[in-house]
Structure 1
Amino acid sequence: MKKPFIITEVIVFLLLFAPLLNLHAQDAAKIDPDHYTVEVDNEKVRVLRINYGPGEESKMHSHPEGVAVFLTDHKANMKTEDGKSFEMAGEKGRVVWVEEARHQPKNVGDQEFEVIQIELKNNHTAAGKKSLHLFELPEGVSEKQLNGFLEEMNAAIAEEGYPGAGYYLYKITDENANYKYFLEGVWPDAATYDKIHDSEKWKNAAAKGGEMIDKIRANELYLKAEKVN
Structure 2
Amino acid sequence: MKKLKTLMKFAIGIYFIISCSGIVAQDAVKIDPDHYKVEIDNDKVRVLRINYNPGEESQMHVHPEGVAVFLTDHTANMKTGDGKSMEMKGKAGDVLWVDKAKHQPKNTGNNPFEVIQIELKNSNIAGKKSLHLFKLPDGMTEKQLSEFLNEMNKAISDEGYPGAGYHLYKITTDNDEYTYFMEGVWPDTATYDKIHNSEGWKAAAEKGKDMVDKIQAQELYLKAEKIN
TM-score, normalised with respect to structure 1: 0.50
Q: Which amino acid aligns with 1:24?
A: V
2:64 is matched with 64
Aligned residues of 1:54 and 1:111 also touching (Cα < 8 A): yes
2:52 is matched with 52
What displacement does 1:12 show?
1.6
1:198 is matched with none
Aligned residues of 1:36 and 1:51 also touching (Cα < 8 A): yes
What displacement does 1:14 show?
5.7
2:39 is matched with 39
1:57 counterpart SS class: coil
What displacement does 1:82 show?
2.7
1:116 is matched with 116
2:179 is matched with none
The sequence identity of aligned pairs, in percent, is 63
1:9 counterpart SS class: helix
Aligned residues of 1:77 and 1:86 also touching (Cα < 8 A): yes
Q: Which has the larger radius of gyration?
A: 1
Structure 2 Cα separation of the partners of residues 22 and 6 of structure 1: 30
Aligned residues of 2:15 and 2:78 also touching (Cα < 8 A): no
Q: Quick check: 1:94 aligned with 2:94?
A: yes
Q: Which has the higher helix share?
A: 1
Structure 2 unaligned residues grouped into runs of 5+: 128-227
RMSD over aligned CA atoms reads 2.6
Aligned residues of 2:18 and 2:81 also touching (Cα < 8 A): no
Q: Which amino acid aligns with 1:52?
A: Y
Equivalent residue pairs, number = 126
Structure 2 Cα separation of the partners of residues 67 and 14 of structure 1: 13
What displacement does 1:13 show?
2.6
TM-score, normalised with respect to structure 2: 0.50
Gap change, CA 1:23 and 1:97, over 3 Å in 2: farther
1:12 is matched with 13
2:29 is matched with 29
2:73 is matched with 73
Correspondences of 1:119-158 after superposition (within 5 Å):
119-125=119-125
